[in-house]
Chains A and B, each alone.
Chain A
Amino acid sequence: MSEAGNGRRGALPPGVSRSQELRERLQGEGYLADEGLSTAIFLALKLGRPLFLEGEAGVGKTEVAKVLSRLLDTTLIRLQCYEGIDVNQAVYEWDYARQLLHIRTAEAFGAEEDRQRFEDELYTRQFLVSRPLLQAIEYEDSTPPVLLIDEVDLADDEFEAFLLEILSDFAITIPEIGTIHASRPPVAVLTSNRTREVHDALKRRCLYFYIDHPGLEREVDIVRLRVPGADERLARQVATAVQGLRSMDLYKPPGVAETLDWTEALVALGAKELDEALIEATLGSVVKYREDQQRALGAGLQLLTGTGGV
């Protein structure tokens, strides 16, 4: 547990000592966080704890890790989880081809005593291929990397066990070599869409934050910040329409990511204002199920343009 002490040294960006300052810096990097999220990020950095972000698809969970790597001016190491992911794909793997070559070399040149040495060398660091998690632990640089473990709920529960050691002690144990500790623990961000409940033991090691869809005003601000080409009026109309869509009981309510896609599509079309024809032409960038599109169209487009009053 003493190794976790490493994590206690905060990794805040220079010049930031309060969560409000962090919030401003995040905004400077193009990410609008509310007070809760910026406090959560602040604490994660300051206490050296992994940050566990949960929420609907497209609310900007992954974006947090990306913006943090920009803010801290460091590398982003990303591990995309999927069903069946295992140690060989996430942590490390032995380089079999090289090992085989090594044995052959021993065969060809080695005397009897040499061969023993060759065999001993077989399971040393030089034959180890590091995958994202090991890369993050071994990272040798003055600023620790940001480690993004994306959609951890998609991995199966067996895999969570590997994460436990990594996230609590920032260490990885390889049976043939020993335990490798991080000299500077990475800034870890985990995301989950809640396709299943992630085990408590894992969550207990993290700070937890649930990201909700933003309210109207904040969404307008996000659109303005991220799509500078959109003027105030368009941004507000798009945000209003998206809020309307979210209340429409769709299979897949649009997230902020869709709002931004949509605005970009509209700006690309040179739109200054949302009208029914434009919505019909671009609805596919914001609503992605056929049934949902029909529902949205059926509800009446004037509702979305804001002229019908939302």
Chain B
Amino acid sequence: MLRAAVTFGRLLRRAGLAAGPDRMVEFVRALEELDPDRREDVYWAGRVTLCSRREDLELYDRAFRAFWEGKEVRTLKRPKTRMSVSLADDSVQPPKKTVERNESGEEMVRLRYSPVDILRKKDFALYTSEEHAELNKLLADLKLSGALRRSRRLEPAPRGRHDPRRTLRGAMRTGGEPMRHRYRKARSRPRRVVMLCDISGSMASYSRVLLRFMHAGVISGERLEAFVLGTRLTRITRELATKHPDRALSEASEAVRDWSGGTRLGDTITEFVDRWGQRGMARGSVVVILSDGWDRGDVEVLAEQMMRLHRLAYKVIWVNPLKAAPGYRPIARGMAAALPYVHVFLSGHNFESLEELAWAIAGAASEREGGAR
């Protein structure tokens, strides 16, 4: 039984579940308490000990079926290969080999070919793969931080709420007489930033770079949540949390099943607001939507959802790479419908505009909620 359990664990890890040794021990102990000959018991023992979030359940179910029915085991290995295919599909993404070679040195040479300041203004859609590699370095230096909000946590302050603990500590020194009263007040901390990146076909020239941008934000240690919008919504915060940009991106692309399909912007934003936003993620946070506003779904839906988002969020920033085109007017129906509910409308087509975006996100920082009250 032990051996079977260990093999099963290996299969789960390959399927993407974090079934570490501690969890496996727990699994085996759970089996001992139940009836290991009953399939339901084995199923539930594994499910409560080896899964730790809702997304795990589907993976677990598949792996379980494969393992205990002895069939389809091979299908589980497939996600890996599918991932690399989807990466190659995307023409903007530099081939992995190029990136690795670049990282092994040769910086000076490439700098001469693509001087940084030209690169800064160049439209991402026109980038060569070498320039993409260069961009990664620029992005690594970009600082992202959310606007400040008042936290409920208290910190020492010259005035504010009375702090009996520190007052008493002080009183010890003066023979029990609280000579100096101490106070504390709510600490402010950066607001959460939520980024939603459109990865539909029409955004293909930009979405790779924007994902890099999100990655830079996620690993900067700020409270940042990353989602991609395709035919459906996928949360990729976890996948992007790896420091190494290529690994982060390939993990993210593994999580996303619908690269470069059509977008139903209204529906995916609905999904975001329903499943995450309204429950707290969007409340009081800075929401950044990176999209060209092409929506194949019902525009009414998008407008309604943007209104909800507008009510929940502290600031809604919309980044549209098409905005930079001369004579651009928001005629994409989705864009036109969403615009009334957007606080800041930016372009995001080149590096400079991304810097601007980083500023806009941090810019709301000086506006403290406390002042408004």
CB distance from A80 to the nearest CB of B (A): 14
Write out the residue numbers on chain A whose beta carbons fall within 8 Å of the beta carbon of B237. 197
Q: Would you list which residues of chain B between 176 and 216 have a CB under 8 Å from chain A? A: 176, 178, 186
Binds B, one of A100-108, A178-186, A238-246, A262-270: A100-108
Give chain B interface residues in 23-37, CB to chain A under 8 Å: 23, 26, 29-30, 33-34
Which of B49-57, B119-127, B323-331 lies at the binding interface?
B49-57
Chain A residues with Cβ under 8 A from B239's Cβ?
none
User: In the docked arrangement, what's the CA distance between A88 and B166, Å?
Assistant: 13
* Chain B residues numbered 18-66 whose CB sits less than 8 Å from any CB in chain A: 18, 20, 22-23, 26, 29-30, 33-34, 40-41, 44-45, 47-49, 51-54, 57
Is there contact, CB below 8 Å, between A43 and B30?
Answer: yes
Q: In the bound complex, do residue A100 and residue B33 qualify as a contact, i.e. CB atoms below 8 Å apart?
A: no
With contacts A204-B22, A208-B51 taken as known, whether A158 is within 8 angstroms of B279 at the C-beta atoms is no
CB pair A35 B40 closer than 8 Å: yes
Tell me which of B33, B176, B281 contacts A107 (CB under 8 A). B176
A36-B151 in contact (CB<8A) = no
A50 to B44, CA, bound (A): 16
Q: Taking the complex as formed, is B171 at the interface, i.e. its CB lies under 8 A from any CB of chain A?
A: yes
Assuming the contacts A96-B165, A158-B153, A197-B53, asked whether A40 and B44 have C-beta atoms less than 8 A apart, the reply is yes
Considering only CB atoms, which chain A residue lies closest to B168 in the complex? Answer: A96
B residues in contact with A97, CB < 8 Å: 164
Pairwise interchain contact B26-A203, C-beta atoms closer than 8 A: no
Q: Tell whether A302 is near chain B: CB-to-CB under 8 Å.
A: no
One of A46, A119, A197 near B172 (C-beta < 8 A): A119
A47-B29, A156-B151, A193-B279 are known contacts. Are A39 and B172 too (CB-CB below 8 A)? no
B52 touches A203 (CB 8 A): yes
- Nearest B-chain residue to A203, judged by Cβ: B52
Q: Write the chain A residue with the least CB distance to B225.
A: A196
Q: Of all chain A residues, which has the CB nearest B176?
A: A103
Is B221 located at the chain interface by the 8 A CB criterion?
Answer: no
Q: Which residue of B lies closest to A202 (CB)?
A: B52
Q: Is residue A209 contacting chain B, with contact meaning CB distance below 8 A? A: yes
CA distance A35 to B34 in the complex (A): 13
**DSSP majority for the B interface?**
helix
Is B242's beta carbon under 8 Å from chain A?
no
* CB-based contact A39/B171 at 8 Å: no
On whether A39 and B44 interact (CB within 8 A), knowing A203-B53, A204-B23, the answer reads yes
Identify which of B34, B52, B176, B279 contacts A195 (C-beta below 8 A).
B279
Of the listed residues A52, A158, A196, A249, the one surrounded by the most CB atoms of chain B closer than 10 A to its CB is: A196
Query: Please, how many angstroms separate the alpha-carbon atoms of A308 and B167 in the complex?
Result: 69
A153-173 Cβ-contact flags toward B at 8 Å (1 or 0): 110101000000000000000
What separation, in Å, do the CA atoms of A100 and B174 have in the docked complex? Answer: 12
**Beta-carbon contacts under 8 Å, B217-273 to A:** 237-238, 270
Q: How far is the CB of A126 from chain B (nearest CB, A)?
A: 16
Q: Is the CB of A204 within 8 A of B52?
A: yes
Please tell me if the beta carbons of B151 and A84 are within 8 angstroms of each other in the complex.
Answer: yes
Contact A83 B175 (CB under 8 A): no
The answer to whether the Cβ of B278 comes within 8 Å of any Cβ in the partner chain is yes
Cα–Cα, bound, A67→B94 (Å): 57
Q: Which residues of B contact A143 (CB under 8 A)?
A: none
Q: Which 9 A-B residue pairs are closest in the complex by CB-CB distance?
A: A84-B152, A103-B176, A195-B280, A39-B44, A96-B164, A203-B52, A195-B279, A207-B48, A40-B48
What would be 13 A-B contacts, judged by CB atoms less than 8 Å apart? A36-B48, A40-B44, A43-B30, A85-B152, A96-B165, A99-B168, A103-B171, A107-B175, A196-B281, A208-B49, A208-B52, A210-B57, A251-B274
The chain B residues found within 8 Å of chain A, CB to CB, are 18, 20, 22-23, 26, 29-30, 33-34, 40-41, 44-45, 47-49, 51-54, 57, 151-154, 164-165, 167-168, 171-172, 175-176, 178, 186, 237-238, 270, 274, 276, 278-281, 308
| 11 further A-B pairs in the complex, CB-CB below 8 A; given A104-B176, A207-B26 | A19-B34, A36-B44, A36-B48, A39-B45, A43-B34, A43-B45, A54-B53, A86-B153, A99-B168, A100-B171, A154-B280
